[in-house]
Amino acid sequence: MPGPAFLRGETVTLRTVEDEDVEFLQETINDPDVRHGLSATEPISEQAEREWVESVASGETGDVHLLICVDGKAVGIVGLNDVTDRIGMAELGYWLTPDAWGNGYATDAARTLTEYAFQERRFHRVYAKVFAGNEGSQRVLEKTGFQREGTFRDHWFRDGRYEDVHIYGLLEDELDRGE
């Protein structure tokens, strides 16, 4: 049984991650097209994914991870990682299945979770890291109001070469609801 809706955006519902989501999560994170936009470089086993889901459910890290659903079907995940409540800051991360790309779902999910971070968790800053070549993810952040703050040059090694990583940030008074 799917987890309950936690947040609703304009086009997506964000719900809790449950045990029955392990297969979807493992298959999608291992998809080469999805993985290419992420820092994940090693294959994720079913056991490793199950352990991650259990850690999310336990709340042991303080991070927030929610499944992105459209019409009840899981199409991705969005999360607040490295949550630092003391200073009100977290890193935003997200991914979608390739068949869900280009529909505005990532933008809606990012905006909805970022709004939650500012309004309900009272965060002051949310930031995100994105590979320089991932223009789709950069558009998601920019549509949500994030500003590019800088670049870590040759920050990540993948596909046989070093790649720049852009840092985007959003302060609580900068959230753009896209209206």
pTM for the full predicted model: 0.91
pLDDT of residue 76: 97
Res. 147: pLDDT tops 60: yes
The answer to whether residue 115 sits within a structural domain is: yes
State whether residue 7 is helix, strand or coil. Answer: strand
Q: Which domain holds residue 124?
A: 5-174
pLDDT of residue 1: 46
The answer to whether residue 118 sits within a structural domain is: yes
Tell me the C-alpha distance between 58 and 158, whole Å.
Answer: 32
Tell me the C-alpha distance between 140 and 69, whole Å.
Answer: 17
Question: pLDDT of 64-98, one tens digit each?
Answer: 999 999 999 999 999 999 998 888 999 999 999 99
The answer to whether residue 179 sits within a structural domain is: no
Q: What is the CATH number of the domain that holds 97?
A: 3.40.630.30
pLDDT of residue 85: 84
Is the Cβ–Cβ distance between 41 and 30 less than 8 Å? no
Count how many domains the chain has: 1
State whether residue 5 is helix, strand or coil. Answer: strand
Question: pLDDT of 22-39, one tens digit each?
Answer: 999 999 989 988 877 777
Tell me the C-alpha distance between 129 and 144, whole Å.
Answer: 14
